[in-house]
């Protein structure tokens, strides 16, 4: 049972890393980023390419940095413009970006499934409650918790964090108070996509790499964002852990219904509370 709970936390942690990027981007730009799963996938491929040369940790750093740059470019070239358009336009454009990125990855790395290695430092298992548990999975939990705590402290206690919380509530009013929301968005989207890259690298050894690897986890991440409440960082954390557990326990005890359980939960929560756990937007 303890191992099952830990496995649920591992998946929940990965979902959080991806979902919090969606929350950040939606909060400031009001863009529902369907390309986020593709950014997760590209992050994994970049990390993989460098890890395959024997530099696992460098792969992680390069991937995070590269995805941050991609995010800044996306914000400047696409998201800043999309904000003025209807939400359906943003959905279509980001979906188009997803297809383009998948095609690029297919051309560069091929369609075949690739295996991402575990770094030697994190290989092996430890005994938890008498059962072996991979050290690498504990690392995934640690990364997720570290990101959640750092992000929470940053948003709560720093100047930029306060600006982001204000702009996520109402970008127009924040702008009228003299704050450059476009510059803020560049930071936020860059951070969101960097977290997608981090999530892709960290998830790499747990999943097989393929051009479509981001699609399934993106759907679960959207469920996390909706259940947690659009624009809510704390809500996303709680919802990610919940979906992680449901995903894991569903796969073990209700395998025939495992794929629909998160959707059923989402429907139930939206009927009970249309703004999600902690959201103020519908």
Least distance (Å) from another protein to the CB of residue 181?
Answer: 8
Task: Return the number of the residue (131 or 169) whose C-beta is nearest another protein.
Answer: 169
> CA angle, 266 as apex, 262 and 270 as ends, to 5°?
175
165 is an interface residue for another protein by CB under 8 A? yes
**What letter does residue 79 receive in the DSSP assignment?**
I
Least distance (Å) from another protein to the CB of residue 188?
Answer: 15
| Given 66, 162, 219, 251, the residue binding another protein (CB under 8 A) | 162
158 is an interface residue for another protein by CB under 8 A? no
Task: Return the number of the residue (94 or 174) whose C-beta is nearest another protein.
Answer: 174
- Rg of the chain in Å (alpha carbons): 18
| Given 7, 144, 174, 210, the residue binding another protein (CB under 8 A) | 174
Looking at 15-23, 26-34, 174-182, 204-212, which segment touches another protein (CB under 8 A)? 174-182
Q: How far apart are CA 125 and CA 256, in angstroms?
A: 30
Report how far apart, in Å, the C-alpha atoms of 33 and of each of 53, 164, 186 are: 32, 18, 15
281 is an interface residue for another protein by CB under 8 A? no
Name residue, tokens 């993106």.
218
Report how far apart, in Å, the C-alpha atoms of 192 and of each of 33, 64, 254 are: 11, 10, 33
User: What is the DSSP track for 170-202?
Assistant: -HHHHHHTT--HHHHHHHHHHHHHHHHHHHHHH
Q: How far apart are CA 224 and CA 243, in angstroms?
A: 7
166 is an interface residue for another protein by CB under 8 A? yes
| Given 73, 104, 179, 219, the residue binding another protein (CB under 8 A) | 179
180: its two tokens = 């450059």
Beta partners for 125? 134
Least distance (Å) from another protein to the CB of residue 174?
Answer: 7
Name residue, tokens 């402290």.
153
Name residue, tokens 């476009």.
182
241: its two tokens = 């852990």
180 is an interface residue for another protein by CB under 8 A? yes
Which one, of 198, 173, 195, 166, lies nearest residue 27 by Cα? Answer: 166
152 is an interface residue for another protein by CB under 8 A? no
169 is an interface residue for another protein by CB under 8 A? yes
Q: Give the binding-site size for another protein (rule: CB under 8 A).
A: 16
Q: Which helix (H) or strand (E) holds 16?
A: helix 2-29
Q: How far apart are CA 37 and CA 60, in angstroms?
A: 17
175 is an interface residue for another protein by CB under 8 A? yes
| Given 58, 106, 125, 280, the residue binding another protein (CB under 8 A) | 280
Looking at 31-39, 50-58, 169-177, 244-252, which segment touches another protein (CB under 8 A)? 169-177
Q: Within 181-210, which residues bind another protein (CB under 8 A)?
A: none
Looking at 40-48, 78-86, 175-183, 212-220, which segment touches another protein (CB under 8 A)? 175-183
| Given 89, 108, 126, 173, the residue binding another protein (CB under 8 A) | 173
Interface residues toward another protein, by CB under 8 A: 159, 162-163, 165-166, 169-170, 173-180, 280
């Amino acid at each position: 049972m303890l191992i099952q709970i830990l496995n649920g936390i591992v998946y929940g942690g990965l979902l959080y890393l991806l979902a919090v990027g969606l929350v950040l981007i939606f909060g400031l730009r009001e863009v529902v980023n369907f390309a986020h799963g593709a950014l997760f996938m590209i992050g994994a491929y970049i990390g993989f390419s460098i890890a395959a040369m024997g530099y696992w940790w460098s792969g992680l750093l390069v991937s995070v940095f590269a995805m941050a740059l991609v995010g800044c470019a996306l914000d400047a070239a696409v998201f800043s413009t999309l904000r003025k358009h209807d939400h359906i336009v943003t959905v279509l454009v980001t979906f188009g970006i997803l297809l383009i990125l998948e095609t690029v990855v297919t051309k560069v790395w091929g369609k075949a499934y690739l295996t991402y290695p575990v770094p030697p430092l994190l290989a092996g298992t430890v005994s938890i409650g008498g059962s072996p548990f991979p050290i690498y999975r504990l690392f995934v939990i640690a990364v997720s918790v570290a990101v959640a705590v750092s992000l929470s402290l940053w948003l709560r206690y720093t100047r930029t964090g306060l600006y982001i919380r204000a702009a996520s509530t109402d970008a127009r009013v924040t702008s009228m108070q003299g704050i450059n929301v476009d510059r803020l968005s560049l930071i936020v989207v860059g951070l969101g996509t960097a977290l997608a890259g981090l999530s892709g690298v960290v998830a790499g050894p747990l999943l097989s790499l393929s051009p479509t690897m981001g699609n399934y986890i993106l759907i679960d991440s959207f469920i996390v964002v909706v259940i947690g409440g659009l624009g809510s960082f704390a809500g996303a954390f709680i919802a990610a852990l919940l979906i992680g557990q449901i995903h894991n326990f569903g796969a073990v005890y209700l395998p025939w219904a495992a794929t629909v359980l998160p959707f059923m939960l989402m429907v139930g929560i939206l009927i009970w509370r249309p703004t999600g756990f902690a959201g103020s937007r519908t």
